[in-house]
Amino acid sequence: MQDWILCAKPSNQSARRLELSVLCHSLSVFLYSADFMLADENSFIVASGTAFGELLIWLCRRDQHDKTWRAYPWREYHGHSGSIFGVSISPTISFGDVDRRLVATCSDDRTIRIWDASGVEEETIAVIQRGAGVPGDAPRTFSHCDKDLTMTWAHSSRVWSVGFATMIHAADEDPSMLLLSTGEDGQAQTWLLDVGKLFSLDQPTSSALTMRYTDHHHAGKNVWAWCHSRNEHDVHFITGGADGQVVRRTYDRNGDADARVMRLAQLFKAIRPSVSDSVPVGTVLAQRTIMLRSYLVAGTNQVIATTDTGLLLRGETACKAASWRVLACSADSQPLVLSSGLAQHHAFFVDRSRSMLCVINVNTSVIRDVCQLRRTRIATVQMAWSKIAPTLQSPHFCIAVSYFRKQDFELIWVTVDAQGSRFSSTYVSLPYTFETTSACVDGEAGVLLLGSRAGAIAVYTGINDRTIFTSPATCRRRTHGEETITSITILKDGLEHSGDELFYLTTGRDGTYCALRLDLRWSGDQNHGDEEDEKLLARLSVIHRGTPPLGPYIEGAQLVKQFDHTQKLLLYGFRSKHFMVWDETNQTQVMAVVCGGAHRSWNLRLNDSTSEEATFVWTKAGAFMFYSQTQADHKILVSGGHGREIKALAVHRRDDSRWLIATGSEDTDVRLFEYTIGVDGIADLKNIAVIRKHTTGLQDLRFSPDGSILFSAAGMEELFAWRLSTVPVLGQGVVFVGALPRTDTQSDARIMSLDIQLSRGPNTFSIVAAFSNGKAKTIEFSCEDHVEDATFTIRSQLDLGTVCLTQVRTVSNPTTTHIQAITGATNGFVTSTGPLQMAAYSSELTTVSHKVHQNSITAMDTKPLTSNHELVVTGGDDNNLALTLARYSPEDNRKPAFRTLTMPNAHAAALTALTVVEDRCYGSGYKGFTIISAGNDQVLRFWRVTIAEGLFPELGQSYGKRTPETALSALGMRERTGQDFSEVQVEFVKEQYTNVADISGLEILHRHPTGDSQIDEHTQSLLVLVVGVGMEVLDIELWDRSASMGTQGAANDQ
Amino acid sequence: MGKSSKDKRDAYYRLAKEQNWRARSAFKLIQLDEQFDLFSYKEPEKCSRVVDLCAAPGSWSQVLSRVLIKGESFGRRAWMEKMDALVNEVNLASQEAPEASIETEVGSLNLKAQKPVLQPRTNVKIVAIDLQPMAPLDGIIQLQADITHPSTVGRMLAALNPEKSETEYELVDLVISDGAPDVTGLHDLDIHIQSQLLYSALTLAIRVLRPGGKFVAKIFRGRDVDLIFAQFKLLFRRVHIAKPRSSRASSIEAFVVCEDYTPIPGWTPDLGRPVNIPDTAKTSIEDDLENIPEQKRIVRTDGVVELSLPRKEATELRQNNRWIAPFLACGDLDAFDADATYRLPPGHVSLEPVQPPTAPPYKAAIERKRAEGGMYGKTKNKGQISNTT
């Protein structure tokens, strides 16, 4: 057996060749971790942690005479109460007059400890001298030491690694060392070690280690690896997790985001009595309880604010202070109503004392009256749309005004130019009980969308600035449950779409965001109907619903251009005490600031081009707070996949070069990937969606034949259905359409396997689900397009006793139109049950079982042979690969006869995945299949199977007069009698190692131009997707055995 | 998920608590014994000196204690003994009263009242070794020792032969090891550590096993497990890979059962050193590897045809130093299924584990968390704010 290399470092930067040789042996102990560091060219220090919590330090030295390396034990430290998973040796630290060397360790016991290793080099020389020059005579024992210099409690579960990063020299302080630790809790923690405190003679009252930040940027558990880099200004930590993600975290000497928050409480003393004469400044300042009501961030350090005394202020922040200036003031000290958005440097507000809509240019602070509103009691003013006319250079706006009389709603169309402003208004009739909270005008399409406080969306069509009155074309209730819709955004990616389809994005306080498709079509038959009866019909359907890790108060969304000219989606909102900006496209957090919670005045400005630049202002405990960042504190360098091992796989072929791959993992996520082969032949695997709803590890996934519905199965009887579609900008749309109702709330059973068959109608499927409590259920699933509620009807249920069913496949029998289910179970039995559609009770089902494997059936696939023969290929925990023929006799097609051929030791460990493809190239007389099997031995094996027609004479007749014997002899196989089942011949083709451990699924990505799921003589190679601990696509030459097999692209290998 | 969810998920977990086993793994040893007759019931004197390695929390030692010292029977064996006794009784009864039908006699017999006959063995010596302390067990000699440490062999033999001098030490009939590391989740590392543990156990076993003795140990069936099998085959006549029904099929855990130890003359491995089994032993494995020229078909009694393909079909991945041990599933098919979810009987009360975990390394961390205000720490006024995605 090879040993495990715990630590490796280049000793010489110019070395280009890697040679491994054993320098010296030391104690043979269970080491979990090690680090070494060159002391000089003839010696290096080794520190290692054992499974039993000891830290061993020794020195390796090259003998001056015979140039051989020897290890000299130095010290053994005790203190940890669990295995030491990480060790790091510091460089020498000059402190006082002494050079110090430290060792950091971390352990199962959740602590990080620092040990003194100063003088290891010198002391060891003494040991060598004591050995009296006799080579190898050095004492083989360590001197014991039990006291660490300092310790601290770190991660909430096992601490995997700790290490010294770099020295921080502050001006008049003792040197500090920056450390990083990573853990099983998925976190990376940054620590500051006060070296002075470590060696101070006084007993320190607190740990010399203080935590600077805790980062959680990896999915699932386990951050395994990290390194650091530094330049003049910054220190970067790069971490790698079990999710395959690589993240760069920038260490900020000024502290993290929360340390940069400015609290500007004394702002009112700074209000300068200036600007226009009309403002009664004196009276304003006399009132001591001035409060800021609403904000609008106008630039990175510019804020427009209203006060409860009717002032409009402009604030500028610099050097932790703000200076304010009064821009306007209402006549009766009633607060002004500020518009929620800013566009083309213009914002709007309403002076309620005059019912006057005003526009302010935030660059110049010039304020103009636009128009007198016809009604009073104005509630909100929103920027619904804006555009710059290319010829006039004058911006157009559409302002949505709502009133406290709830049914009143108005659009004001405003054009601002050098002379002044022009306007027109549109009265909007609201649906019954509709209280508007968000508005969006799609100027190009002439569509208005309104969101309500109760989650409804109203759609108006044919809108432009000449419209006087409009009433809703449709109203979709409960789109965000019964929660407020906070924003509506137009989704447009610049690509041409059918003019009848428009796409929008909404955010809500139900914690979700939605992509909506609006279908517009004319009613009636255009050839016959009267033109006057024709009506534009609008239908709004949800095509994507996402639940980002913020909320439930999702307050808005913004689309931002990326470097590759695509757009990414930023969502923002509150999570407990934080305000967060989340990059949904790249699944990463852009900003997080502690603001105190959701209920407060706030405003956010995100830069359109550089997404990480953000300014956020808010009120907290009566104080004005300000935060601004130019970049996020971390960046994803390589985006990751699942946080734990993949347990389920489904593949849908979109076309010749694109496959949709769904993977389900123990981390309870389902991820959708798109695997594409470009015209240049370069393959790309891209994660296009993450689906989070399951509460237990995934067990199986299955696409509907057209790829529009995905079924996912997990523990706790969770069977979910998802509708998939393409969404502009977002790419992949996923909508949850329903879950199998749990009949027994006490049951924790896992749904181990699924298979589906098209049933009546295009949106109706028969699903067969196998449960871990020995039950199998046939479920009729139907879901209309555009609806989010699917129906699950249990048609039949069978109980196969106290086993765990692991596999299920449906077999449709064309002679009888019955569907049979073939199941595999942990007891090694293959069972055929049916017919499934007819019976509602188990007693009416016929069940025939057949023992194939000694222990659990861990993989299964089926292929039809004839109208009444099915080939069942199974792999077992017993290492066997078995081929079972199920023959459904025409007389009683419910009771199949089974015959099995098994191959012991097909793999060296449990056979956990297999797939069967039909071959086409052998001509008549027999059928051919290629089987790919994979096991826990991390080997893929390819088998070719030929089945002679002698087994199914009715097929033989149709093929002509060749007998099976002649067919087999044509293959060069020995003729045999039927007793030993020689009609089925197996040939081992080849095998291939894979990097994926614990393989749970395996699928062929066909490259055949016809898209046929068969292998023939034109099939040069197969792309095989393997999933387990990571995923990998292997390109395997099928026919030329001598040719080398290359790994086409290993993705997300852990 | 409630407290009883593990009871539903895992029938053996529930059974272990009900039958007073310290851990569910007791059933694994019982089922291995059913298949391989580890405790040699026909010739009890052939299994009286047993070593249990990595014994804590002690469920395998518990089985040893109850089977060898107390003479109890479990599982299928217990059931068969019960049935035998029943048949005898019925036979006796029918001889006495020939007119009574067997059916009524069976109906009148109370199965539960049937007292199992205890068959304690003589001269039983069991040593349980672990680094961790373990609660005491009847008749088991406990050693807190490191199985990789050279001094352990001597301490163990001395404990097994309390009245004898070093030259008279008697060797051991059976070495068992259910040891496994705390898995880290780093797949290759876990398999490596487990194989190191297995080699340590093997080294110790070679030092103390009598010729013909048995060795049973936990193994992870992962990549290159066939290399390990091949090495075991050099030292034992019969090597099987066994999977008890009580071990989950979804887990890579299995047990290597080695029977008939054949020492290699002049070779004893050092504890704490890598095992290098000499090449001279290779002949025994070569004999066993049937190099069949062409495929072979065997029709089993159940009608299933077993197909063996010629070794020439194998590629470079299967060199001579690899060998796949035959697989044997242990335990009855009607025994509980470790993977199946069971419906708990109405009114089920979830029992506390028999042996709560011995002091885990993170005990202090948990106590500290609790003192700070619950498992999730303080919810208010925390010094640091976690920055989570």
* B217 in any annotated domain: yes
Note the pLDDT tens digit of each residue in A1029-1048.
Answer: 989 999 888 764 433 333 33
Residue identified by tokens 């072929």 is A653
Of B53, B50, B2, B80, nearest in space to B204 by CA = B53
The DSSP-derived string for B192-260 is HHHHHHHHHHHHHHHHHEEEEEEEEEEEE--TTHHHHHHHHHHHEEEEEEEEETTS-TTSSEEEEEEEE
Q: Which residues contact A162 (CB under 8 A, 6 or more apart)?
A: A86, A87, A88, A104, A105, A106, A112, A154, A179, A180, A181, A182
What are residue A127's DSSP bridge partners?
Answer: none
B287 annotated among ligand-binding-site residues: no
**Contact between chains at B304 and A905 (C-beta distance less than 8 A):** no
Q: Which residues in chain B touch residue A856, judged by CB atoms under 8 angstroms apart?
A: 249-250, 339
pLDDT for residue B379 = 47
pLDDT for residue A879 = 93
* Partner-chain residue, chosen from A52, A549, A854, that has the shortest CB–CB distance to B329: A854
**Contact between chains at A588 and B386 (C-beta distance less than 8 A):** no
pLDDT greater at residue A224 or residue A171: A224
Q: Are B105 and B90 in contact (CB under 8 A)?
A: yes
Reading the block at residue A1051, the tokens are 């993705």
CB atoms within 10 A of CB A872: 27
Q: Quote the minimal CA–CA distance from B248 to chain A in Å.
A: 9
Between strands A791-799 and A150-153, the pairing is unpaired
The 3-state DSSP class for residue A470 equals strand
Exposed e or buried b per residue across A627-652, where buried means at least 16 C-beta atoms within 10 angstroms of its C-beta: bbbeebbbbbeebbbbbbbbbbbbbb
User: Which of A876-890, A902-916, B106-120 is least confident?
Assistant: B106-120
pLDDT for residue A939 = 93
pLDDT for residue A485 = 96
**Contact between chains at A980 and B274 (C-beta distance less than 8 A):** no
φ and ψ at residue B105, rounded to 5 degrees: -65, -45
Q: Quote the minimal CA–CA distance from B136 to chain A in Å.
A: 23
* Partner-chain residue, chosen from A52, A938, A988, that has the shortest CB–CB distance to B313: A988
Angle between helices B187-208 and B225-235 (to 10 degrees): 0
Note the pLDDT tens digit of each residue in A464-478.
Answer: 888 999 999 999 999
What are residue A651's DSSP bridge partners?
Answer: A661
Mutation for A interface: B13, B304, B380, most A CBs within 10 A: B304
* A539 in any annotated domain: no
Q: Which residues in chain A touch residue B252, judged by CB atoms under 8 angstroms apart?
A: 909-910, 936, 998
Radius of gyration from C-alpha coordinates of chain A: 35
Q: What is the CATH number of the domain that holds B217?
A: 3.40.50.150
pLDDT for residue B386 = 42
pLDDT for residue A175 = 79
Nearest CA in chain A to B219: A909
Residues A213, A92, single domain; the answer is: yes
**Contact between chains at B389 and A589 (C-beta distance less than 8 A):** yes
Q: What is the CATH number of the domain that holds A237?
A: 2.130.10.10
B347 annotated among ligand-binding-site residues: no
* A436 in any annotated domain: no
Q: Are A307 and A329 in contact (CB under 8 A)?
A: no
Of A768, A652, A753, A674, nearest in space to A712 by CA = A753
* A342 in any annotated domain: no
End-to-end Cα spacing for chain B: 25
* B340 in any annotated domain: no
Mutation for A interface: B250, B251, B300, B318, most A CBs within 10 A: B250
**Dihedral, A1007, A1013, A1019, A1023 alpha carbons, nearest 10:** 50
Of A1036, A1038, A943, A967, nearest in space to B295 by CA = A943
- Residue type for position A358: C
Q: Which residues contact A717 (CB under 8 A, 6 or more apart)?
A: A740, A742, A744, A747, A748, A749, A750, A751, A771
Note the pLDDT tens digit of each residue in B222-264.
Answer: 988 988 998 898 899 999 999 998 888 888 899 999 999 998 8
Residues A907, A1008, single domain; the answer is: yes
Distances, alpha carbon A224 to alpha carbons A106, A183, A220, A687, A998, in Å: 13, 7, 12, 22, 19
* A613 in any annotated domain: no
* A12 in any annotated domain: no
Q: Which residues in chain A touch residue B306, judged by CB atoms under 8 angstroms apart?
A: 902-904
Q: Which residues in chain A touch residue B245, judged by CB atoms under 8 angstroms apart?
A: 855
Between strands A926-935 and A159-168, the pairing is unpaired
Instruction: Give this complex's ipTM.
Output: 0.85
What are residue A249's DSSP bridge partners?
Answer: A237, A634
Average pLDDT (A1007-1013) is 52
| Residue that terminates a domain, selected from A800, A829, A851 | A851
Q: Quote the minimal CA–CA distance from B88 to chain A in Å.
A: 32
Q: Which residues in chain B touch residue A900, judged by CB atoms under 8 angstroms apart?
A: 303-305
- Residue type for position A484: T
Selecting among B17, B218, B233, B243, the annotated active-site residue is B218
* Partner-chain residue, chosen from B228, B329, B340, that has the shortest CB–CB distance to A803: B340
Mutation for A interface: B305, B312, B348, B363, most A CBs within 10 A: B305
* B299 in any annotated domain: yes
Q: Quote the minimal CA–CA distance from B105 to chain A in Å.
A: 31
Residues A899, A1045, single domain; the answer is: yes
- For chain B, what is the domain count? 1
- Residue A776: half-sphere exposure toward Cβ, Cα within 13 Å: 33
Scanning A20-165, the segments in alpha helix (DSSP H) are 120-130
Nearest CA in chain B to A582: B389
Q: Are A756 and A749 in contact (CB under 8 A)?
A: no
pLDDT for residue A10 = 63
Task: State which residues form the domain around A746.
Answer: 661-851
Q: Which residues in chain B touch residue A82, judged by CB atoms under 8 angstroms apart?
A: 360-362
Nearest CA in chain A to B359: A81
Mean confidence (pLDDT) of chain A: 81
* CB neighbour class for A731 (10 Å; exposed up to 12, middle 13-18, buried from 19): middle
pTM greater than 0.90: no
* Partner-chain residue, chosen from A29, A156, A936, that has the shortest CB–CB distance to B222: A936
Q: Which residues in chain B touch residue A585, judged by CB atoms under 8 angstroms apart?
A: none
For chain A, give the percent of residues with pLDDT over 90: 34
How does residue A274 score in pLDDT terms, banded at 50, 70 and 90?
very low
Q: Does the active-site annotation cover B218?
A: yes
Spacing of C-alpha B307 from chain mean position: 30
Name, of A305-314, A956-965, B94-103, B171-180, the range with top average pLDDT.
B171-180
Reading the block at residue B1, the tokens are 């998920």
Q: Are A191 and A210 in contact (CB under 8 A)?
A: yes
Residues A987, A842, single domain; the answer is: no
Residues A714, A845, single domain; the answer is: yes
Residues A997, A1027, single domain; the answer is: yes
Residues A752, A880, single domain; the answer is: no
pLDDT for residue A924 = 65
pLDDT for residue A965 = 44
Spacing of C-alpha A852 from chain mean position: 39
Q: Quote the minimal CA–CA distance from A772 to chain B in Å.
A: 5
* A418 in any annotated domain: no
Q: Which residues in chain A touch residue B247, judged by CB atoms under 8 angstroms apart?
A: none
**Contact between chains at A748 and B384 (C-beta distance less than 8 A):** no
Q: Are A668 and A696 in contact (CB under 8 A)?
A: yes
- For chain A, what is the domain count? 3
Distances, alpha carbon B48 to alpha carbons B57, B148, B162, in Å: 22, 24, 15
Mutation for B interface: A750, A802, A975, A1027, most B CBs within 10 A: A802
| Residue that terminates a domain, selected from A835, A851, A867 | A851
Note the pLDDT tens digit of each residue in A484-514.
Answer: 999 999 998 776 656 678 999 999 999 999 9
Residues A870, A731, single domain; the answer is: no
**Contact between chains at B329 and A938 (C-beta distance less than 8 A):** no
Mutation for B interface: A28, A214, A968, A971, most B CBs within 10 A: A28
* B259 in any annotated domain: yes
d(CA B289, CA B278): 18
Residues A828, A869, single domain; the answer is: no
For chain A, give the percent of residues with pLDDT over 70: 80
Q: Quote the minimal CA–CA distance from A571 to chain B in Å.
A: 13
* CB neighbour class for A231 (10 Å; exposed up to 12, middle 13-18, buried from 19): exposed
Reading the block at residue B273, the tokens are 């050193």
* Partner-chain residue, chosen from A27, A774, A900, that has the shortest CB–CB distance to B304: A900
Nearest CA in chain B to A716: B1
* Partner-chain residue, chosen from B8, B195, B322, that has the shortest CB–CB distance to A748: B8
Residues A214, A117, single domain; the answer is: yes
Residue B361 has pLDDT above 50, yes or no: yes
Q: Quote the minimal CA–CA distance from B362 to chain A in Å.
A: 4
In eight-state DSSP terms, residue A270 is G
Residue identified by tokens 């009506």 is A535
* A866 in any annotated domain: yes
Residues A841, A817, single domain; the answer is: yes
d(CA B8, CA A747): 8
The 3-state DSSP class for residue B297 equals strand
Note the pLDDT tens digit of each residue in A533-559.
Answer: 567 788 899 999 999 988 789 999 999
B260 annotated among ligand-binding-site residues: no
Q: Which residues in chain B touch residue A976, judged by CB atoms under 8 angstroms apart?
A: 297
Radius of gyration from C-alpha coordinates of chain B: 25
* B110 in any annotated domain: no
pLDDT for residue A724 = 94
Contacts for B269-272: CB closer than 8 Å, 24+ residues apart? B269/B203, B269/B206, B269/B207, B270/B150, B270/B203, B271/B147, B271/B148, B271/B149, B271/B150, B271/B152, B271/B153, B271/B200, B271/B203, B271/B204, B271/B207, B272/A27, B272/A28, B272/A29, B272/B148, B272/B149, B272/B150
Task: State which residues form the domain around B211.
Answer: 5-72+118-330
pLDDT for residue A750 = 92
Residues A873, A904, single domain; the answer is: yes
**Sign of the CA dihedral with A136 first, then A137, A140, and A146 last:** negative
B60 annotated among ligand-binding-site residues: yes
Peptide bond into A896 cis (omega under 30): no
| Residue that terminates a domain, selected from A817, A851, A885 | A851
